[in-house]
Structure 1
Amino acid sequence: MHVPFEIRHFLDRAVTVYGDRIGFVDEPVQPAAPWTDLTYARIGELARAQAAALDGMGVGFGERVAIVSHNSARLLTSFFGVAGHGRVLVPVNFRLSTEEISYIVEDSGASVLLLDPEVAERLGDVPCARTIVLGEDGDREMLAFGADPAPWEPDEEATATLNYTSGTTARPKGVELTHRNIWVNAVTFAMHVGAGDRDVYLHTLPMFHANGWGMPFAMSGVGARHVVLRQVDGAEILRRVDEHGVTILCAAPAVVNAVLTAAADWDGEIPGRGRVRIVVAGAPPPTATIARVETELGWEFLQIYGLTETSPLLTVNRRRAEWDDLDPQQRAAKLGRAGAPALGVTIGLAPDGEVLARSNVVLKRYHGKPEETAETLRDGWFHTGDGGRIDDDGYLAISDRRKDVIITGGENVSSIEVEDTLAHHPAVAEVAVIGVPDEKWGETIKALVVLAPGAAATEAELIEHCKSRLARYKAPTSVEFRDELDRTATGKVQKFKLRAAYWDGRERQVN
């Protein structure tokens, strides 16, 4: 018997088994009226009502619905109401500029655009056939209660979400993830972190990031409680852990640092000691940070590695029984690696050290980019663009980033995109953008600039030039003026040489 995987399975199970349980606790303070303390049965009703409303709008199966929103119950519900009923959800990073979001909406072919009220004024002119502002007024347009949604014939190879990621091109690429990709990722993720119906999951991770790494599906499927956090703040995370009995959260290293900073000023016992698991990804944090999570917070540290293109789970590193007798620093050294392959994942290395992967979680394709798809999936492997090593125990460690991608505060930034923006400044003759180590953000963006003959520009001027054209987190934090840039005999900029001075003495070329 073959039953197609579909992401609606996760909510259907929650409705059947845990229908009367409070499933979602929305952000209490937000521009849209919160959907407070929703049972799983109510979330099921809301998802069906959203699907029925799309029927009424004439949005057919396979059509795109884009959503630009902070973390909220409406965004979480849309994974099921849109993608769970045969359409394609396009979750968009709300921190992007208007121009960047306009490109994504156009490139994806979205016929409906859902906007959080906080971004509605800024993005109101983004072209789309239909735009709905989330909130009480928008609910009347977005929800059609009393009507049964049109039945969708499940197809596990159908695209469920279209997630845009900054890669090696100036424009972001749309990653098509199928129902099968998402289903397998969610189930294996839940297994590896030991998720169950007693868990309380705090959404510190933006849900637009690789579909919140799959946690909206995984945690719903096991009947865990979702607690929505709209804006990351270290002290607020500790308060939510205390108030709601949080047991698990996902975070970039910068969020871990924010929690550790807040914990230093916390009055009394740190909430969640001996109870919380924190799953970290985005870039490998320093081993000192890992040890502090254990000793200062009393939380369990887990590290994963993956990409938007892999749904994202490729490897997982969790404390093993064999490591129990190690001291915190020794254990942190073990946990500082990307981890062992997740169930169903095969990891390999290309001759040049690039990390390769093969799994059911690997993307279907890049939307509208057959050449890039073929290049990334060549020879039967997904090419990550990251360099690494595989230790004797089978654990992967990431050593450097082969692609021109900088990860700052958990956000992917295409260095080519920043270079292109700076190159449009009249004073800039040449530019190379690299990532350099930073204690708070892991990496920050540095621009190495050669000015045009006779031209003048200041560091502040060039940074502001970028901020006015890109999402602010993509702008360089520093600019260094050079007489020339290191190049090969054929004229190609040698970024590994440009990076070397800033990473000297470090074992890994990522932070």
Structure 2
Amino acid sequence: MCFSRLSDVRAATEPDALCIADDSSNLTNRQFHSRVLAAAGVFADRGVGVGDVVAIMLPNQVEFVVAMFAAWRLGAAVTPMNPGLTNKEAAHQLVDSGAKLLVNISGETVIPSVQSLPVADLEAGAPYTGMPIAELAALALLIYTSGTTGLPKGVMLDHANIEAMSQMGRHSLKVTAADHCLLILPLFHVNGIVVSTLIPLSSGGRVSIRKRFNVDTFFEDVEWLRPTYFSAVPTIYAMLSALPREVKPYTSSLRYGICGAAPASAQLLEKFEARFGFPLLEGYGLSEGTCASTINPFDGLRKVGTVGRPFIGQRIAIADPSGVHLPQGATGEVLVQGPNVMRGYLGKPEETAKTIVDGWLHTGDIGRIDEDGYLAIVGRLKEMIIRGGENIYPKEIEDVLCEFPGVLEAAVIGVPHETFGEIVVAYVAFRTGIAGTQEGLNEHCTDRLTRYKRPSTINIIDSLPKNAVGKVDKLKLRKMWTECVD
């Protein structure tokens, strides 16, 4: 079923069942559908129609989801925007996406060519009376990459992509109408949209939205709202694990937490589950694959240190630099194939052709597949460090550092060196109230890593810099290093 019709179906089948909530709203299916129709009417009055793009630059709130479904109803696509973008950054996305309308808090114009709509006006129009456009081949989402290797690129996901991914998620995560997702990740990211919104809503379940993750109130929300699952990044799980030992929340409603977007250490996953009493399902995916490609099973063997097996309907392969598929156990680039693979990068046919080859999405991640079909991510092709001709994968070193008592998180980068080409530099943050030393960390690494893999320098800092999605920002770490040695 095309998502443009989902609010109709929910309102017709269970009009008074709860659908979606945030800090200030709690909408039933009937109320949500009415809000979607009103917003669609406003969009239509502004000239939005089939093939147009609506930009949504809002914090996490019900109106974000209302606007998204309203745009889809008219046959328009949505490009979610980080509300923290500067005007220059926002202008790039608006121009590149060809957005016709921008929904933001104030209605302030970012660029003259794109009309802006204050979020309060979404309820100000007459309900749209036309039939929803239901075309699976139509563009649904333009997700802009984080831009770590240049200007952000628009990942084109059509309705067939998001429906396929939602169906895979419902099946693998066993999500039903009884499920209630607590959404804490940003809605401008594909994870927040697909895993925390589309999957529960298309299952007949419901969503409670929080504007942002708050470590001090998260478990209060869990105890009060009684969600059955949530999705988060390793940084969030590390922060929760660092809570004082006397914090003993009541978590019986949670069936599991989903962990993705960045690698998590085995120690973090094991300690978290032992302390809080519910499993973490580590998965793997990227925007170009509509969010997720593998997951550790909820009701099967969960292998710590892996990101699980492929979702039913997807295939995973490991390839050498020339694209030749490698045997089980070999290390190489992770490839993904399935109906979840993006249409391509907007306006960038050459980059699309390099990324999708013979139907296989080249992820840029390095991994290996074990005898049971579980994928382990070793690192990123572009993050791989080559020291004196030896390939070094940062994740292996990061995992070792995270095993050191009191370490909250660690990140490893390669920096230029006259003799070896590159050397390993690490950044480590300890838990609040715990002090560690470089000497102790060096001894720890000496016992666990071959000489060439050991960090040449270990920097202890208060916290690691993050990007808007919560991933460690290694570009900033490299800049910090450059500023330090200059």
Report the TM range for the smaller structure's normalisation: 0.7 to 0.9
Q: Does 1:131 align with 2:116?
A: yes
The structure-2 alpha-carbon separation of the partners of 1:223 and 1:375, relative to structure 1 and needing over 3 Å to count, comes to same
SS at match of 1:264: coil
Who is 2:212 aligned against?
A: 231
The structure-2 alpha-carbon separation of the partners of 1:218 and 1:106, relative to structure 1 and needing over 3 Å to count, comes to same
Counterparts of 1:133-212 in structure 2, within 5 Å, are 133-135=118-120, 138-140=121-123, 143-148=124-129, 150-166=130-146, 169-210=149-190, 212=192
Who is 1:101 aligned against?
A: 90
Who is 1:217 aligned against?
A: 198
The structure-2 alpha-carbon separation of the partners of 1:53 and 1:299, relative to structure 1 and needing over 3 Å to count, comes to same
1:250 positional shift: 0.3
1:482 positional shift: 9.5
Who is 1:427 aligned against?
A: none
Counterparts of 1:406-425 in structure 2, within 5 Å, are none
1:376 positional shift: 0.7
Distance between the aligned counterparts of 1:447 and 1:77, measured in 2? 46
Q: Does 1:255 align with 2:236?
A: yes
1:275 positional shift: 3.1
Who is 1:12 aligned against?
A: 8
Distance between the aligned counterparts of 1:217 and 1:471, measured in 2? 19
Distance between the aligned counterparts of 2:125 and 2:413, measured in 1? 46
**AA aligned opposite 1:280:** C
The structure-2 alpha-carbon separation of the partners of 1:129 and 1:311, relative to structure 1 and needing over 3 Å to count, comes to same
Who is 1:40 aligned against?
A: 29
Distance between the aligned counterparts of 2:271 and 2:384, measured in 1? 28
8 Å Cα contact 1:162-1:176 kept in structure 2: yes
User: Number of residue pairs matched?
Assistant: 408
**AA aligned opposite 2:304:** L
Who is 2:304 aligned against?
A: 335
1:483 positional shift: 12
8 Å Cα contact 1:253-1:442 kept in structure 2: no
8 Å Cα contact 1:444-1:476 kept in structure 2: no
8 Å Cα contact 2:40-2:127 kept in structure 1: no
1:443 positional shift: 3.7
1:136-175 deviation per Cα after TM superposition (whole angstroms, max 9, x unaligned): xx335xx423441x33542211101111013564101001
Distance between the aligned counterparts of 2:242 and 2:46, measured in 1? 48
**AA aligned opposite 1:48:** L
Identity of aligned residues (%): 27
1:419-442 deviation per Cα after TM superposition (whole angstroms, max 9, x unaligned): xxxxxxxxxxxxxxx999485466
Distance between the aligned counterparts of 1:206 and 1:263, measured in 2? 26
The structure-2 alpha-carbon separation of the partners of 1:75 and 1:397, relative to structure 1 and needing over 3 Å to count, comes to same
The structure-2 alpha-carbon separation of the partners of 1:442 and 1:281, relative to structure 1 and needing over 3 Å to count, comes to farther
Counterpart among 54, 61, 64 of residue 50 in structure 2: 61
Over aligned residues, Cα RMSD in angstroms? 3.1
**AA aligned opposite 2:184:** T
Q: Does 1:287 align with 2:283?
A: no
Counterpart among 364, 388, 397 of residue 376 in structure 2: 397
With structure 1 as the length reference, what TM-score do the two structures score? 0.73
**AA aligned opposite 1:292:** K
Who is 1:358 aligned against?
A: 337
1:263 positional shift: 6.0
The structure-2 alpha-carbon separation of the partners of 1:383 and 1:253, relative to structure 1 and needing over 3 Å to count, comes to same
- Out of 193-202 and 63-72, give the one that drifted further: 193-202
**AA aligned opposite 1:313:** A
- Out of 89-98 and 374-383, give the one that drifted further: 89-98
Q: Does 1:476 align with 2:465?
A: no
1:380-400 deviation per Cα after TM superposition (whole angstroms, max 9, x unaligned): 211011011010001111111
SS at match of 1:362: coil
1:28-86 deviation per Cα after TM superposition (whole angstroms, max 9, x unaligned): xxxxxx3x111011111111221122111111211111011111000011221112431
With structure 2 as the length reference, what TM-score do the two structures score? 0.77
**AA aligned opposite 1:22:** L
8 Å Cα contact 1:83-1:161 kept in structure 2: no
1:97 positional shift: 2.9
The structure-2 alpha-carbon separation of the partners of 1:98 and 1:262, relative to structure 1 and needing over 3 Å to count, comes to farther
The structure-2 alpha-carbon separation of the partners of 1:242 and 1:153, relative to structure 1 and needing over 3 Å to count, comes to closer
1:188 positional shift: 1.1
1:338 positional shift: 1.3
Distance between the aligned counterparts of 1:484 and 1:200, measured in 2? 50
The structure-2 alpha-carbon separation of the partners of 1:125 and 1:481, relative to structure 1 and needing over 3 Å to count, comes to closer
1:116 positional shift: 3.1
Who is 1:349 aligned against?
A: 318
The structure-2 alpha-carbon separation of the partners of 1:191 and 1:471, relative to structure 1 and needing over 3 Å to count, comes to closer
8 Å Cα contact 1:338-1:396 kept in structure 2: yes
1:217-245 deviation per Cα after TM superposition (whole angstroms, max 9, x unaligned): 11112222211110211221101101011
SS at match of 1:258: helix
Distance between the aligned counterparts of 2:297 and 2:469, measured in 1? 34
1:89 positional shift: 0.6
1:286-343 deviation per Cα after TM superposition (whole angstroms, max 9, x unaligned): 111111221111012111111001111211112555x5xxxxxxx6xx1331110101
8 Å Cα contact 1:263-1:270 kept in structure 2: no
SS at match of 2:377: strand
Who is 1:21 aligned against?
A: 17
Who is 2:433 aligned against?
A: none
Distance between the aligned counterparts of 2:29 and 2:384, measured in 1? 39
8 Å Cα contact 2:145-2:152 kept in structure 1: yes
8 Å Cα contact 1:253-1:281 kept in structure 2: yes
1:261 positional shift: 2.4
8 Å Cα contact 1:64-1:87 kept in structure 2: yes
8 Å Cα contact 2:184-2:213 kept in structure 1: yes
SS at match of 2:150: coil
The structure-2 alpha-carbon separation of the partners of 1:471 and 1:387, relative to structure 1 and needing over 3 Å to count, comes to closer
**AA aligned opposite 1:38:** L
